[in-house]
Amino acid sequence: MSRGDRANDELRQTTIKSGYLENPKGSALIESGKTKVICTVMVEESLPPWINEEEADHGWLTAKYGMLPGSGEERIRRERKGAKGRTKEIQRLIGRSLRAGIDLKKVGPRTLWIDCDVLQADGGTRTASITGAWVALKLAVQKMMEDEDIEEDPMKRQIAATSVGIVSDEERLDLCYEDDFNADVDMNVVMDEKENFIEIQATGEEAVFTREQHDRLLDLAEKGIKELMKIQRNTLE
**For 94-111, what is the mean pLDDT?**
95
Percent of the chain with pLDDT over 70: 96
Residue 3 lies inside a defined structural domain of this protein: no
pLDDT, position 7: 95
Residue 159 lies inside a defined structural domain of this protein: yes
Whether the predicted pLDDT of 1 surpasses 70: no
pLDDT, position 78: 76
Out of 45-49, 70-74, 141-145, 206-210, which region has the weakest mean confidence (pLDDT)? 70-74
**For 196-207, what is the mean pLDDT?**
92
Residue 5 φ/ψ, nearest 5 degrees: -90, 10
H/E stretch holding 14 reads: strand 14-18
Q: Which of 194, 150, 187 is nearest to 167 (CA)?
A: 187
Pairing, β 60-67 against β 111-120: parallel
Residue 9 lies inside a defined structural domain of this protein: no
Domain of 154, CATH number, reads 3.30.230.70
Q: In the structure, what pLDDT confidence band is assigned to residue 54 with cuts at 50, 70 and 90?
A: low
Pairing, β 159-167 against β 111-120: unpaired
State the Cα–Cα distance between residues 173 and 223, nearest whole angstrom. Answer: 9
Give 130-188 pLDDT, tens digit per residue. Answer: 999 999 999 999 999 999 999 999 999 999 999 999 999 999 999 999 999 999 999 99
pLDDT, position 206: 79
Residue 26 lies inside a defined structural domain of this protein: yes
Residue 207 DSSP class: S
Q: What is the mean pLDDT of the chain?
A: 92
Residue 220 lies inside a defined structural domain of this protein: yes
**For 221-225, what is the mean pLDDT?**
98
Number of domain units in the chain: 1
State the Cα–Cα distance between residues 11 and 7, nearest whole angstrom. Answer: 8
Residue 2 lies inside a defined structural domain of this protein: no
State the Cα–Cα distance between residues 192 and 198, nearest whole angstrom. Answer: 7
Residue 64 lies inside a defined structural domain of this protein: yes
Q: Which residue range is the domain that position 121 belongs to? A: 14-236
Q: Is 77 left (phi over 0), alpha (psi -120 to 50) or beta?
A: beta
**For 217-234, what is the mean pLDDT?**
98
Whether the predicted pLDDT of 44 surpasses 70: yes
State the Cα–Cα distance between residues 53 and 32, nearest whole angstrom. Answer: 39
Residue 60 lies inside a defined structural domain of this protein: yes
Whether the predicted pLDDT of 214 surpasses 90: yes
State the Cα–Cα distance between residues 175 and 153, nearest whole angstrom. Answer: 34
Out of 43-52, 78-87, 101-110, 198-207, which region has the weakest mean confidence (pLDDT)? 78-87
